[in-house]
Chains A and B, each alone.
Chain A
Amino acid sequence: MLTLIKREIEDAIVLVLGAVIFTAIVITVWVSCVYRGMSVLNIGSWPTAAFIFTIICCVMGIWQMRTDRTKKISSFLLTLPVTRRRILIARIITGFLVILLVLVPITITALVLLQRFGPPIPLYKDFFLDIFVATFLMSFACYCIGLHNGWSSGKIASTLGSLLLTLIFLPLVIIKGISPQALVIVSLFIAALLIRTWQKFMTTSL
């Protein structure tokens, strides 16, 4: 399994490096702004950044599956002592790790800045954690949309379809907010997408 994850990461090295650079830029800009006097609670640009990040996650899912289809990676790997289940799990774990690679450092930075510069009431710490969880779930959901649709035949259809579904799905967080209800819906949505992707991947001819 580790070999497969390593393979996925090496194949997606551009995305992984991009995620690291993106995280570094966000943290650097934010820390410098806070040290220059901006309120740590000023998260006005977070929705835009989160929106762009979720789109990128969707594209990452599409890219992983399309690359597999076009380069016939799974059909080669299946000739080795590897099962479809392991290939898909490794792929999902890679996407999961890339998302965490971006969100965890940013959230840790946020909590540290809040501790240092923020108001002493715990409301804002809870807010930041809620935002982190919601952003993580939405990003992962969009990634799963990309995985699910990327496996369909047709490059343009899968890309456009995924982006359309992502744009339809993302406003859920505007409608429902970051409530437990919304998080349950998103979690179930992720589970349903993974089940569908799993079933498709397990039964498609390679």
Chain B
Amino acid sequence: MKSKIKYAVKVFAAGFIVIVLLSIPLFWLRLICQEILGENLPSEAKCINMQPCGLVPPEIENDPNVVYHSAVSVNMNTGALPFYGIINCFIAKPAFNNYFSEKNWSYFDKKLGLIVCAYAPRMNVDGKVTLAKAVTLYVGPDGISETKAQNLGRFVAPIVDTGNIHSASLVLTGYDRGLRCFFAVNLEKRVVTKGPQLSKDDFHKPIQIGRISGILRSEFNWSPPMTEVKDTNEKGDSARERKPVQSKPIINYTYSAGQYELVLDESGQIDLLDKETLVFAGKAGFLPAPQTLYDSKDSVTPKDLLDYDVLPLTLKTDNKYSGCFVKTVSREGTSMALAVFDEKGRMIKCDYTKTQSSSGKTIESSVAFFFFSPAAPVLTITRYLLENLQPPILSMASFVTADSFFAVAGHNALFILPNSFVAMSARRIDRTITAKLFLAMIYIILPSLVLSIWLTCKVARDAAMVGLSDKARFYWKIGTILFGLTAYITYRLTRPSITLVTCENCGKLRRPDMENCHRCGSKWHVPELTAPAWRVVD
């Protein structure tokens, strides 16, 4: 019994080492395929341009003096570098642990339950605005103090947009998930305003407030309608020399939500929060679902997206919130969506990354990524085969857990692959679960299953030759079917390393450490050693 336990421990230890050391090079090979596929994707399939954007009132957009209409464009970064764990763990630290300078920092102290920040009052010295010496402030839901007073209350799990803390307004808006209420902190006036607690049946679960974006914080390029700037020195129309049209915006704007703050919900909905009353004031929009290789959901949650970004817009015509642009990048990083929402949260426009095939047909970027870019078929097949080197059981686990992992985690996954073809097929909405499972088994992990079955036959043969017990052989067969190449390598590392000798009785190879031949059951006999028949013993 003890030896069986030892053997099992030996096998599991070896198996774990093998699976780790095999997964890492496979990861890099898959990544190389992914990166080259991304590089080869035409640039038009990585950006979206909308002109006009749809948020500017028609009377301004269609002004006869307008030479360039309003436009918004976004680019998709197909590189995986920002999602590597080592970079991600520095970038994606909990919100508002920020340090910009000795007068400009903040963090949430879990033990105290207070937000601690540096506050340097602005001073006007000889017409110049400078910062006075910074003081440390402790902010609780019930007040602000320069000491860690008990009467400040305690935050439980606050979410804050610290972009505001360092802005001129010095107002910090946040939400506490434990207390389930919004709060606004005015550092200058040293006042904390708490909003009403959300009711128990309120479905809202805010996860971000203020500047809503994923890890990358990509740049939106938005330009308002432009009018021509007349050059007073220009003398008539010269046919010989035409200078480029100089233009200026016809309207002023800010990238803010005006009297509101944007709040991103766990469900993917974007809400407006009234800054004065700290209650929800309506919807701003939602995260649109990019078009993926297989048809997937219409709307997505932040968890399902590799990246997202929301750019609110306030036009200075009425200084009211005008609407927002929302960009989302699919889980696999192969497609992007850009949606425009008006001030009431209604979608005005929505576009997706796409490209043109050689025949002029429009192809979604996710399809072009895998099949229609230069060298895409070869790289896709290579990636497909590499994914099939994963143990079948892990492929099935990837199928089952397709929606469970955050999108970012898929880019640094070693064992379960949320971005694999099998996981993508699990997320499709146009098939039943049984159909999806069947298609996954037959089409997507078929090479993996074939490899596992072939390796199982090899292991079974070798195990019989080496004389493993029936039970051990059975477990190895099951293990090899489930774990494929990993199990085979583990078997080779842990199989008894004993030189077999020929059995006198059956002529097959037998193990010398067994009393009887494991093939024919005959007793041990060593013909090459012919001991004399006599013995002189007590």
Listed in ascending order, the chain A residues whose CB lies under 8 Å from chain B are 119-124, 127, 130, 165, 168-169, 171-179, 182, 185, 188-189, 191-193, 195-196, 199
Residue in A119, A165, A178, A191 whose Cβ sees the most chain B Cβ within 10 Å: A119
Let me know if A185 and B84 touch, CB within 8 A: no
Let me know if A177 and B17 touch, CB within 8 A: no
A192-B17 in contact given A122-B109, A176-B414 (Cβ < 8 Å): yes
Let me know if B13 and A175 touch, CB within 8 A: no
Q: Which of B20-28, B332-340, B437-445 contacts its partner?
A: B20-28
| Cβ-neighbour of B24 out of A123, A124, A130, A168 (below 8 A) | A168
Q: Which of B86-94, B297-305, B454-462, B505-513 contacts its partner?
A: B86-94
CB 8 Å contact bits of B411-431 with A (1 = contact, 0 = none)? 010100000000000000000
CB 8 Å contact bits of B145-171 with A (1 = contact, 0 = none)? 000000000000000000000000000
Closest-CB distance, B278 to chain A (whole angstroms): 27
Let me know if B85 and A176 touch, CB within 8 A: yes
Q: A191-B13, A192-B14, A192-B17 are in contact. List 8 more A-B contacts (CB 8 A).
A: A123-B99, A171-B24, A173-B85, A175-B84, A177-B84, A177-B85, A177-B87, A196-B17
Closest-CB distance, B236 to chain A (whole angstroms): 60
Within 8 A of A (CB), among B185-225: none
Let me know if A119 and B85 touch, CB within 8 A: no
Let me know if A188 and B16 touch, CB within 8 A: yes
Contacts of A173 in B (CB 8 A): 85-86
In the assembled complex, the Cα of A133 lies from the Cα of B534 at a distance in Å of: 68
| Cβ-neighbour of A174 out of B17, B25, B85, B93 (below 8 A) | B85
In the assembled complex, the Cα of A168 lies from the Cα of B412 at a distance in Å of: 16
B361 interfacial contact with A, CB 8 Å: no
Contacts of B17 in A (CB 8 A): 189, 192-193, 196
Contacts of A192 in B (CB 8 A): 12-14, 16-17
Tell me the nearest residue of chain B to A171, going by C-beta: B24
Q: What are 27 pairs between A and B in contact, CB < 8 Å?
A: A119-B99, A119-B105, A120-B118, A121-B107, A123-B93, A123-B107, A165-B21, A169-B20, A169-B21, A169-B24, A171-B28, A172-B20, A172-B24, A173-B85, A174-B84, A174-B85, A175-B85, A177-B86, A178-B85, A178-B86, A189-B16, A189-B20, A192-B13, A192-B14, A192-B17, A196-B17, A199-B6
Let me know if B27 and A175 touch, CB within 8 A: yes
B97 interfacial contact with A, CB 8 Å: yes
B281 interfacial contact with A, CB 8 Å: no
Residue in A174, A176, A178, A182 whose Cβ sees the most chain B Cβ within 10 Å: A176
Let me know if A182 and B13 touch, CB within 8 A: no
In the assembled complex, the Cα of A125 lies from the Cα of B89 at a distance in Å of: 15
In the assembled complex, the Cα of A171 lies from the Cα of B118 at a distance in Å of: 38
Closest-CB distance, B475 to chain A (whole angstroms): 19
Tell me the nearest residue of chain B to A144, going by C-beta: B17
CB 8 Å contact bits of B2-35 with A (1 = contact, 0 = none)? 0000100110111011001100110110000000
Let me know if B414 and A175 touch, CB within 8 A: yes
In the assembled complex, the Cα of A173 lies from the Cα of B106 at a distance in Å of: 29
Contacts of B231 in A (CB 8 A): none
Contacts of B109 in A (CB 8 A): 122
B241 interfacial contact with A, CB 8 Å: no
Closest-CB distance, A109 to chain B (whole angstroms): 21
Contacts of B16 in A (CB 8 A): 188-189, 192
B276 interfacial contact with A, CB 8 Å: no
Closest-CB distance, A151 to chain B (whole angstroms): 14
In the assembled complex, the Cα of A117 lies from the Cα of B85 at a distance in Å of: 28
Let me know if B20 and A119 touch, CB within 8 A: no
Let me know if B6 and A174 touch, CB within 8 A: no
Tell me the nearest residue of chain B to A165, going by C-beta: B21
Within 8 A of A (CB), among B62-96: 84-90, 93
Let me know if B14 and A196 touch, CB within 8 A: yes
CB 8 Å contact bits of B106-124 with A (1 = contact, 0 = none)? 1101000000101000000
A168-B21 in contact given A175-B414, A199-B6 (Cβ < 8 Å): yes
Which are the 9 A-B pairs with shortest beta-carbon distances?
A177-B85, A177-B89, A192-B13, A195-B13, A176-B85, A121-B107, A123-B97, A119-B99, A192-B16
Closest-CB distance, B287 to chain A (whole angstroms): 25
Tell me the nearest residue of chain B to A178, going by C-beta: B89
In the assembled complex, the Cα of A188 lies from the Cα of B18 at a distance in Å of: 12
Tell me the nearest residue of chain A to B107, going by C-beta: A121
Contacts of B538 in A (CB 8 A): none
A122-B85 in contact given A168-B25, A172-B24 (Cβ < 8 Å): no
Tell me the nearest residue of chain A to B136, going by C-beta: A120
Closest-CB distance, B309 to chain A (whole angstroms): 23
Contacts of A130 in B (CB 8 A): 89
Let me know if A119 and B102 touch, CB within 8 A: yes
Contacts of B85 in A (CB 8 A): 173-179, 182
Contacts of A168 in B (CB 8 A): 21, 24-25
Closest-CB distance, B12 to chain A (whole angstroms): 8
In the assembled complex, the Cα of A185 lies from the Cα of B12 at a distance in Å of: 14
Tell me the nearest residue of chain B to A202, going by C-beta: B6
In the assembled complex, the Cα of A75 lies from the Cα of B121 at a distance in Å of: 74
| Cβ-neighbour of B99 out of A121, A177, A196, A199 (below 8 A) | A121
In the assembled complex, the Cα of A111 lies from the Cα of B13 at a distance in Å of: 36
